[in-house]
A and B are shown apart, each in its own frame.
Chain A
Amino acid sequence: MEGHGDPDLALLERIARKDKAAFKALYRQLYQPIYQYLFRMLQRREVCEELVDDVLLTVWQKAGDFRGRSKVRTWVIGIAYRKGLKRYYREARGPQMDELEQHALRLRDEEDAGPEGRFQQQQLGVQLQTGLMSLSANHRSVMELTMLGYSCNEIASIVDCPVNTVKTRMFHARRQLREYLGQLDPRAAAGRGEEQ
């Protein structure tokens, strides 16, 4: 969790002293992970591009406030999380869910979808995608941050809650995801959810 050995720390220290070259370097380094995280949350390219700039502008303004309690990247993703969540709640999510569900139904009905294994894999992917979208924003964030490779402690730092809350949210997210998949395919759920 500490900043020792954090490759971004030296850049952030220079940014705190208003070094523009350091800011440009950090921008290039962090643009992709911030964008990818926000895109998972919001699924809209233009909105995400605009938000990434907003996040990095905040980094420029607040670099001096960084206390080194986490890695720089974790701190920045925490800023992205809060800005993304605010936007998520402001924007209507309905139409995108409908589109994904329509796509899932189309795949299920499609008869000439190629080899069966590939079709099933593709179908499971879409079902998982819609399942993730059906989770509450808090549960989904914990699930997706984990899938993006963040540790439990880092997620606690990003979403600003105790580690046990992260584990509880993850537990509920996994249960809801299994229930969602079970509703779509009761046979598969019988195999997957025996422990429930």
Chain B
Amino acid sequence: MSIQQTASNHEQQFLNLPWYVNGTLSAEQMEAMRLHIDGCDICRQEVELLRSAQSVVQDDLAAVVPDAGRLDRLMEKIDAPPRQTARPVNPVRGILHETRRVFSALFENRWAWAAVAPILLVAVIFMRGGDVAAPGIDYKTLSSGERPTGSVLRLRFETEAGVDAVELLHAVRPLSSAARLETGADGGYVMALPSDTAPDRVLAVMQFLEEYPGVGSVRRTSE
């Protein structure tokens, strides 16, 4: 195994350690993890820390039994007829309630929402003259469904002093394992992603960067 492959394997295993500790990885993953941990001091130390955290959480779990009357009271609540409101109906409140009810029904029904969403999107594009750019994110390019044409896709951003770029790159890796960080010509940074990165993944990286403390707005560049 090359040094790069070993490093990438370590990163992958390091990310999955918590689920190794709680025993929910597949048998195959557990075995691979066991082999990796045998030869990796960093992961061994991390396992110790995670096991300590696990015992802290689990020690806190006293066995609880609901008191006898609790379930009876809940059953009474279930059996009680729905409460009628005696107050006169306020027309404005009624309209708001009805609007909320329709929207809740839409959100609960995935298919209805899927049917309405494109109509709303077209309406927004129409109202905004075709420009749906949000501050700092070039949604227009992403929502067109086009893949970037160059060999890499670049996301340009600036950071406040004190932001550790290497740590930032490490944090982005779960979203795009092939992400690279370059220094931009203007002193900012450029996150380079492979050109075949799926648009929703690019969007996820952009949103992640935008939410990262100390990172300013993120723009896709054509370089």
A contact set with B: CB distance below 8 Å: 20, 23-24, 27-28, 31-32, 35-36, 39-40, 49, 52-53, 56-57, 60, 65, 124-125, 128-129, 132, 143-144, 146-152, 154, 162, 164, 167-168, 170-172, 174, 177-178, 181, 191-192, 194-196
Contact = CB atoms under 8 A, between A and B. Distances in A.
A31 B204 contact: no
Across the A-B interface, the 5 shortest Cβ-Cβ residue pairs: A151-B24, A147-B57, A195-B42, A36-B61, A128-B56
Given A20-B75, A35-B64, A143-B53, A125 B59 contact: yes
Interface string B127-155: 00000000000000000000000000000
Interface residues of B, number: 42
Contacts of A28: 66, 71
Contacts of B66: 27-28, 31, 49, 52
Contact of B171 (A31, A52, A168, A194): A168
A149 B23 contact: yes
A194 B46 CA distance: 11
A129 B66 CA distance: 26
B124 interface: no
B85 interface: no
A145 B46 CA distance: 18
Interface of B: 15-16, 18-19, 21-25, 42, 45-46, 49-50, 52-61, 63-66, 70-71, 73-75, 77-78, 108, 167, 171, 174-175, 204, 208
Contacts of B21: 146
A53 B70 contact: yes
B10 to A, nearest CB: 9
A193 B63 CA distance: 35
